[in-house]
Amino acid sequence: MSEHTARVRWRRGDAPFTDRRYSRAHEWAFDGGAVVAAAASPLVVRPAYTDPAGVDPEEAFVAALSSCHMLFFLSFAAERGFVVDAYDDDARGLLAPGADGRVAFASVTLRPAVRFAATAAPSPAEHVALHHAAHEACYLANSVRCPVHCEPTLVA
């Protein structure tokens, strides 16, 4: 068992606040020293009250699922003697109202494109099996309510 932490920091500044016209920009700080500019999605909050350059929680959710899958995939590929040269994922999450009317992620689709070294590459079936194993092992995919789909591409 392990515990993981993040510090989220926001300051009101001189905005009145109760009129709801305050900045949603904030920061995420992690134990290794990384600090990430974060903000509400400009798809949710008017751009005047957020920072479109900041990472929003919805993007972070999708990125975290993608990253977790990738890290397991890389580990399993190395374990089996396959050499990964590049891994790129164009992951997408779909927010939608559920049956109860609350907005939640309806699905997340990972689209990893993986290039292996020609001398140590899996067959197409082995490639798919690696993604399946990564998906089954991914802590985050095992923790969320929405389905997480994987549509891998083997890059030549």
Given a cut of 90, whether residue 82 has pLDDT beyond it is yes
46 and 76 in one domain? no
Q: Would you state the pLDDT for residue 116? A: 97
Q: pLDDT digit string (tens) for 13-67?
A: 998 999 999 999 999 999 999 999 999 999 999 989 999 999 999 999 999 999 9
Q: Tally the residues of the chain.
A: 156
| Tokens at 14, concatenated | 């001189």
Residue of 87, 148, 78 lying closest to 120 (CA atoms) = 78
Share of the chain above pLDDT 90, in %: 94
112 and 42 in one domain? no
- Looking up residue 80, the CATH number of its domain turns out to be 3.30.300.20
Mean pLDDT of the chain: 96
Containing domain of residue 50, as a range? 1-55
Q: Would you state the pLDDT for residue 7? A: 96
Residue 156 binned pLDDT confidence (cut-offs 50, 70, 90):
confident
Task: Supply φ then ψ for residue 116, to 5 degrees.
Answer: -105, 160
74 and 8 in one domain? no
148 and 104 in one domain? yes
Q: Would you state the pLDDT for residue 15? A: 87
34 and 45 in one domain? yes
Residue 113 binned pLDDT confidence (cut-offs 50, 70, 90):
very high
Domain count across the chain: 2
83 and 67 in one domain? yes
